[in-house]
């Protein structure tokens, strides 16, 4: 689902950070062709993968922790399963879950 959402919204993003689970050269190529800078670490299969990872902008890639923290809290609170089969329905469910989480955080403050 992440690939479809990213490629659908390339006009709205300048860079996309992801962990090694999104290590796919076709995704990198698609993002580059749309003018989006992929900040996705390479899996370490060869010596040159270390060099690719060393060239990532650590300042931008380091901002992933904010999203990862929110995702972790959402999973703990609401569960990690997504019900619908179609990706756009899964996306709607995730957006609604994130909205509810953000509202709860705003009420706490």
Mean pLDDT by 10 residues, the chain (109 residues): 79 82 82 88 78 77 78 79 75 82 83
Rounded Cα distance, 76 and 39, in Å:
26
Residue 24: strand, helix, or coil: coil
CA atoms of 94 and 88, how far apart (whole Å) = 10
pLDDT at 49: 73
Quick check: 16 and 40 in contact, CB under 8 A? yes
Length of the chain counted residue by residue: 109
Q: Which two tokens stand for residue 102?
A: 């953000």
Measured in degrees and rounded to the nearest 5, phi and psi for residue 16 equal: -130, 115
pTM, entire model: 0.56
Beta bridge partners of 15: 37
What is the pLDDT at residue 46?
80
Please tell me the number of Cα atoms within 13 Å of 30 on its side-chain side. 15
Residue 1 has a pLDDT of 65
CA 73, CA 91: separation in Å to the nearest integer? 18
């Amino acid at each position: 689902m992440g690939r479809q959402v990213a490629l659908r919204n390339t006009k709205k993003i300048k860079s996309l950070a992801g962990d090694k689970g999104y290590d796919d050269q076709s995704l990198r190529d698609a993002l580059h062709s749309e003018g989006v800078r992929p900040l996705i670490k390479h899996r370490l299969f060869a010596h040159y993968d270390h060099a690719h990872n060393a060239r990532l902008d650590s300042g931008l890639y380091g901002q992933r922790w904010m999203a990862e923290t929110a995702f972790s809290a959402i999973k703990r609170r609401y569960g990690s399963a997504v019900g619908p089969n179609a990706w756009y329905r899964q996306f709607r469910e995730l957006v609604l879950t994130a909205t509810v989480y953000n509202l709860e955080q705003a009420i706490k403050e």
